[in-house]
Structure 1
Amino acid sequence: MTRNLIAILRGLKPDEALAVTAALIEAGITAIEVPLNSPQPLESIERMASAFGNDALIGAGTVLSTHDVANVVQAGGKLIVSPNCDAEVIGATKAAGLQSFPGVFTATEGFAALKAGADGLKIFPASIMGPNGMAALKAVLPASVPVYAVGGAGPDNFGQWRAAGADGFGIGTALYTPGLAASEVAARARKLVSAYDEVMS
């Protein structure tokens, strides 16, 4: 099954990238982003895309410019995630044939992102909006648009977010923190996937 889970590997180093990616895919998480404020992120993305590009959607997070988008394309990434809604970044992402998930917090930003061509919306920071805020936003957004809760969503509250209309989740520190062994990432990922399946299926 395809799960609407994006692993956010902030702080990942290139020499960890393949083992951590393999652990995530084995657990059932097949969308993975390396934030561009990580050490040598493009090298990590290049290694991951080369090894696992057929098994997972690999890309970058914290993408803030069209220049960033071009770099990710060159590294072989297929996913662009941003903390903000930038029409130029979204446009460049779609022109390059990549998937676009910009960060939004208001209806204005959400509709601007969709107008620019976004594939889905990342509610960020979701912990500030809360499930009630997301439910209100979902009521006006097109039902076909996948909306992900990012920042404050995890196994303990997937049910609340699901009830509010969340279609998926971006998960950072609950999955990975810098230097965490691949075996521990695997254990966290299995727990996360189990909680997701219980709530979302």
Structure 2
Amino acid sequence: MTADLTDLLADARIVPVLTVPDPTTAAPLARALSAGGARCAEVTFRTPSAEQVVKAMAAQGDLAVGAGTVLTAEQAERAVAAGARFVVSPGLDHEVVARCRELGVPVVPGVATATEVMGALRAGLDTVKLFPAEPLGGRAMLRALAAPFPGVRFMPTGGIDAAGLPGYLAEPSVLAVGGSWMATPALLASGDYAEIRRLTAEAVERSMRWPT
């Protein structure tokens, strides 16, 4: 990972993970997240409109917008063309990593085992996404993986909620935490951007208690 994104994630400490079916909600969503103090966001490529959402959110200019759930090199290309500043994958795919390198964009692959962490290290990466963090065993699993890899920083994501955020941020190996509770599909569907802003601000305030 490039130093600029490492610094961004270290400062942000939280990464809102967004699944946005309707691209018309992208701009007000970006404004609500920014108003809540978020510095970056991850738009998952789980919907047909993901590229439009990345483009619309990036155009707001206040957030570093990345693409998540990137499964193929072709998706990585489309994400970067839409304006994604970083790429996140649920697993370690060496074609995705290689294409991101060619495109000059940082990539954070998902890992669930020590073997995958070793694969990421061999690929020259020292920041990985522990996914799905809670189903894998939560903080106990994080500590078990971090112990033999002291130079690796983790971005745990998957099943983490507001109550669990402080515990993860207290772990020395954690660079940032990804979570979807700040902008759930239900909040997006109802257009409750005030609540999205409130939840984001609450998460940001909590994250400031646990600097890197």
TM-score, normalization by structure 1: 0.89
For residues 126 and 52 of structure 2, what CA distance do their matches in structure 1 show? 25
Partner of 1:141: 149
SS state of the match for residue 63, structure 1? coil
The CA deviation at 1:164 is 3.8
Find the counterpart in structure 2 of residue 14 from structure 1: 23
Instruction: Return 5+ residue gaps in structure 2 as ranges.
Output: 1-9
Cα deviation, residue 152, structure 1 = 2.5
Tell me, yes or no, if the aligned pair for 1:58 and 1:78 is still in contact at 8 Å. Answer: yes
Match of 2:205 in 1: 194
Distance 1:184 1:135, change over 3 A: same
Q: Deviations over 1:6-45 (max 9, x none)?
A: 1111134211111111111222211211111124110111
> Take 2:208 and 2:114, find their aligned partners in 1: how far apart are those partners?
29
What letter is aligned with 2:177? F
Shift of residue 58, structure 1, vs aligned partner: 0.8
SS in 1 for 2:97: helix
In structure 2, C-alpha distance between the alignment counterparts of 1:167 and 1:77, rounded to whole Å? 20
List 4+ stretches of structure 1 deviating above 3 A: 162-165
Change (3 A) 1:104 1:158: same
Cα offset for 1:163?
A: 4.0
CA distance in 2, matches of 1:119, 1:58: 21
CA distance in 2, matches of 1:119, 1:4: 17
- Whether the aligned pair in 2 keeps the contact of 1:11 and 1:177 (CA below 8 Å) is no
Q: 1:12–1:34: 8 Å Cα contact kept in structure 2?
A: no
**Matched positions, count:** 197
Q: Letter of the aligned partner of 1:189 in structure 2?
A: T
Question: Take 1:46 and 1:24, find their aligned partners in 2: how far apart are those partners?
Answer: 16
Segment of structure 1 superposing worse, 120-129 or 178-187: 178-187
Kept in 1, the 8 Å contact 2:13–2:169? The answer is no
Match of 1:24 in 2: 33
CA shift, 1:153, in A, is: 2.3
Name the counterpart of 2:157: 150
Equivalent residue for 1:107?
114
CA RMSD of aligned residues (A): 1.9
Structure 1 pair 188–39 and aligned structure 2 pair: CA distance change class (3 A): farther
Gaps of 5+ in 1: none
Name the counterpart of 2:105: 98
Report the CA distance between 1:181 and its aligned residue. Answer: 2.1
For the residue of structure 2 that corresponds to 1:60, the secondary structure is: strand
Q: For the residues of structure 1 that align with 2:97 and 2:126, how far apart are their CA atoms?
A: 9
Moved more, 157-166 or 185-194: 157-166
Partners of 2:153 and 2:23 in 1: CA distance: 30
Structure 1 counterpart of 2:108, one-letter code: F
The aligned runs of 1:79-94 (5 Å cut-off) are 79-94=86-101
Tell me the percent identity: 29
How many Å separate the matches in 2 of 1:30 and 1:117?
26
Measured in 2, the distance between the counterparts of 1:163 and 1:106 equals 22
The separation in 1 between residues aligned to 2:105 and 2:126, in whole angstroms, is 9
Offset at residue 72 of structure 1 (A): 0.9
Q: In the alignment, is residue 43 of structure 1 matched against residue 63 of structure 2? A: no
The letter for the 2-side match of 1:192 is A
CA contact (8 A) 1:36 1:60 kept: yes
